[in-house]
């Protein structure tokens, strides 16, 4: 994958009237497309866009520049792109301004082909946001390891070994002396834990961990956490039973599992807020008709859609107005056309109005059947 520096050109892109950028997001997952069937998808995306461009008012010059970039992208994907293990491909092209950039993602992306003055970067940033910087701290009585986990890679940052004396050799000693030795051990242990906490703080200022995971036995972690500063404790996603010698790949796997659960829970919480807000008539909607109404008026701030949701509906080919019931367009007073892909049209419209889009995974519906299939937080009341 890529680091944020490599996006500089894209982030700082200055749009220019008449100079169009083509942005492609292509799902190239080898599991779904063992024989590079994604080329077929790309072909139909390009065909769709060309048909759409024909309907819009572009000058011949603009059109030929865009067509040229579309063809260039196809050539690139067909001849130059080597999939290896990548599941997502992202390309930005604008020959007029000498731009051609491709990025690869370890996760699939949703197919999209967009022509605009500026690169369409939202899904790219959403993808990057998915990859948090995670710090995993494994603590035992004498040792500690701190790992950094980011974009599918794990790195050991620190291996701390402290001098903590072994459990008392008390034979013959009783009372006062035994207590003294115990206190001595406690003292060493405390210094060891304090040391680890300092190291976590130091590494956090370097790596800016989004989240921390605490690994180790419950009793040790209970003694360790009070040494950690509050803002670091607040970054903790929870505790996992990990040992100093747990292989780093396993450390990563366990850490990512904890993060995935956390994200699922967070999304579920956001959706219940959405439901509450909608039920009390606030800036939220939780059904298709209302969501369409909001989209038609450019009021959608964050769109929530169940993954793979499919609905038929109606679209005004003149202005893009969307409806779930047959109707005449209230804006152009034209008869609306039937569409097989109402949800796709809705998502496209959300993209056009710069809404954020959150896909709700199907598994979330297992625990909560009442979860809405579609909904949105609104910018204003439509
Ligand atoms: Zn219309």
Could you tell me the fold of the domain covering 134-259? Answer: Nucleotidyltransferase; domain 5 (3.30.420)
Q: Which pLDDT band holds residue 284 (cuts at 50, 70, 90)?
A: very high
Distance 317 CA to ligand 1 centre (A): 7
* The model's pTM: 0.67
Distance 281 CA to ligand 1 centre (A): 28
Separation CA 220–CA 324 (nearest Å) = 58
Calculate mean pLDDT across residues 74-80. 96
Distance 332 CA to ligand 1 centre (A): 4
Distance 217 CA to ligand 1 centre (A): 64
Distance 341 CA to ligand 1 centre (A): 17
Q: What pLDDT, on a 0 to 100 scale, did the predictor assign at position 209? A: 95
Decide: residue 379, CB within 10 A, 0-12 exposed, 13-18 middle, 19+ buried.
middle
Torsion of CA 344, 347, 352, 354, to 10 degrees: -170
Distance 238 CA to ligand 1 centre (A): 52
**CB within 5 A of ion ligand 1: which residues?**
316, 318-319, 321, 329, 331-332
Distance 343 CA to ligand 1 centre (A): 18
pLDDT tens column, 330-370? 999 999 999 888 998 898 888 888 888 888 888 889 888 88
pLDDT value at 371 more than 50: yes
Could you tell me the fold of the domain covering 281-378? Answer: 60s Ribosomal Protein L30; Chain: A; (3.30.1330)
pLDDT value at 129 more than 60: yes
Q: Which residues pair with 212 in a beta bridge?
A: 135, 236
Separation CA 239–CA 221 (nearest Å) = 8
Best CATH choice for the domain 4-130 from the list 3.40.50.920, 3.40.50.970, 3.40.50.720, 3.30.960.10:
3.30.960.10
The domain ranges of the chain are 4-130, 134-259, 281-378
Query: What are the backbone angles phi and psi of residue 166, rounded to the nearest 5°?
Result: -70, 165
**Out of 22-26, 159-163, 344-348, which region has the weakest mean confidence (pLDDT)?**
344-348
Separation CA 252–CA 138 (nearest Å) = 12
pLDDT tens column, 230-258? 999 999 999 999 999 999 999 999 999 99
């Amino acid at each position: 994958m890529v680091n944020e520096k490599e996006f500089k050109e894209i982030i700082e892109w200055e749009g220019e009237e008449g100079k169009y950028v083509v942005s492609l997001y292509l799902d190239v997952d080898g599991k779904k497309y063992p024989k590079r069937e994604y080329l077929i998808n790309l072909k139909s995306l390009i065909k769709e866009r060309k048909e759409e461009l024909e309907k819009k008012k572009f000058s011949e010059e603009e059109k030929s520049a865009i067509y040229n970039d579309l063809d260039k992208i196809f050539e690139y994907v067909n001849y130059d792109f080597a999939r290896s293990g990548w599941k997502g491909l992202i390309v930005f092209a604008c020959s007029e301004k000498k731009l051609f950039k491709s990025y690869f993602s370890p996760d699939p992306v949703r197919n999209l082909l967009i022509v605009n003055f500026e690169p369409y970067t939202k899904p790219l940033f959403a993808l990057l946001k998915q990859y948090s910087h995670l710090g995993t701290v494994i603590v035992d009585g004498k040792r500690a390891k701190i790992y950094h986990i980011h974009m599918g890679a794990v790195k050991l940052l620190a291996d701390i070994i402290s001098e903590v004396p072994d459990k008392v050799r008390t034979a013959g000693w009783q009372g006062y002396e035994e207590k003294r030795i115990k206190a001595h051990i406690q003292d060493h242990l405390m210094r060891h834990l304090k040391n680890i906490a300092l190291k976590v703080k130091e590494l956090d200022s370097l790596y800016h961990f989004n989240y921390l995971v605490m690994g180790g036995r419950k009793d040790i972690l209970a003694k360790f956490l009070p040494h950690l500063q509050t803002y670091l404790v607040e970054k903790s996603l929870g505790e996992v039973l990990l040992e100093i010698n747990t292989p780093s790949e396993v450390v990563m796997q366990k850490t990512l599992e904890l993060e995935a659960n956390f994200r699922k829970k967070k999304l579920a919480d956001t959706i219940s807020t959405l439901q509450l807000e909608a039920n009390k008539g606030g800036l939220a909607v939780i059904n298709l008709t209302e969501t369409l109404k909001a989209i038609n008026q450019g009021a959608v701030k964050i769109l929530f859609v169940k993954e793979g949701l499919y609905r038929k509906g109606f679209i005004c080919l003149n202005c893009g107005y969307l409806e779930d019931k047959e109707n005449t367009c209230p804006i152009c007073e034209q008869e609306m056309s039937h569409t097989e892909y109402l949800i796709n049209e809705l998502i496209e419209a959300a993209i056009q109005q710069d809404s954020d889009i959150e896909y709700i995974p199907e598994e979330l519906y297992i625990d909560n059947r009442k979860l809405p299939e579609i909904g949105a937080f609104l910018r204003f009341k439509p």
